Structure 1
Amino acid sequence: MNDRVSVAIDAGVAEVRLTRGDKMNALDPAMIDALAGTIDKLRRTPGLRAVVLSGEGRAFCAGLDMASMAAIGEGGGLGGASLTDRTHGPANIFQQVAWGWRTLEVPVIAAVHGAAFGGGFQIMSGADIRIAHPDTRMAIMEMKWGLVPDMAGVALWRTLVRDDVLRELTYTNREFSGAEAERFGFVTRTSAAPYDEALALARDIAGRNPHAVRASKRLFNLAAESDAATILMAESEEQVRIVRSPNQVEAVTANFEKRAPRFVD
Structure 2
Amino acid sequence: IVLHGNGDNFCAGIDTSIFDPNFPRKFADSMKPQPGSHANLFQRAACVWREIPVPVICAIKGVAFGGGFQIALGADMRYSTPEAKFSVMEVKWGLIPDMGISTTARHIIAPDRLKELAFSGRIFNGEDALSMGVVTSLHPDPYAAAMLTATEIAGRSPDAIRGMKRLFNSGFDLDDAAALALEARIQSGLMGRPNQVEAVAANLEKRPPEFDD
TM-score normalized by structure 1?
Answer: 0.77
Q: Which residue of 2 aligns with 1:156?
A: 104
Which one of 143, 150, 154 corresponds to residue 206 of structure 1?
154
- Structure 2: stretches of 5+ with no match in the other structure: none
Shift of 1:87: 3.9
Secondary structure of the residue aligned to 1:67 is helix
CA distance in 1, matches of 2:24, 2:8: 33
What amino acid maps onto 2:15 in structure 1?
A: D
Q: Which residue of 2 aligns with 1:64?
A: 14
* 1:23-102 correspondence runs (5 A): 51-69=1-19, 73-75=23-25, 77=27, 81-87=29-35, 89-102=37-50
Aligned in 2, Cα 1:76/1:191: closer, same or farther, shift over 3 Å? farther
What amino acid maps onto 1:224 in structure 2?
A: F
* 1:1-265 correspondence runs (5 A): 51-69=1-19, 73-75=23-25, 77=27, 81-87=29-35, 89-265=37-213
Shift of 1:69: 4.3
Higher relative contact order (CA 8 A, sep 6+): 2
What amino acid maps onto 1:126 in structure 2?
A: G
Q: Which residue of 2 aligns with 1:43?
A: none
- Structure 1: stretches of 5+ with no match in the other structure: 1-50
**Superposed CA RMSD:** 1.6
Contact 1:88/1:96, CA 8 A, preserved across alignment: no
Secondary structure of the residue aligned to 2:64 is strand
What amino acid maps onto 1:67 in structure 2?
A: S
Shift of 1:225: 1.9
Contact 2:32/2:41, CA 8 A, preserved across alignment: no
Aligned-pair identity in percent equals: 44
CA distance in 1, matches of 2:196, 2:23: 50
Secondary structure of the residue aligned to 1:116 is strand
Q: Which residue of 2 aligns with 1:11?
A: none
Richer in strand (by share): 1
Aligned in 2, Cα 1:111/1:82: closer, same or farther, shift over 3 Å? closer
* Runs of 4+ with >3 A deviation: 68-73, 84-88
CA distance in 2, matches of 1:199, 1:71: 44
Shift of 1:250: 0.4
- CA deviation vs aligned residue, 1:123-174 (integer Å, no higher than 9, x gap): 0110000000010010000001111000011211110011111110000001
- CA deviation vs aligned residue, 1:150-205 (integer Å, no higher than 9, x gap): 00112111100111111100000010001101111110111111000000100110
CA distance in 2, matches of 1:175, 1:249: 49
Aligned in 2, Cα 1:210/1:69: closer, same or farther, shift over 3 Å? farther
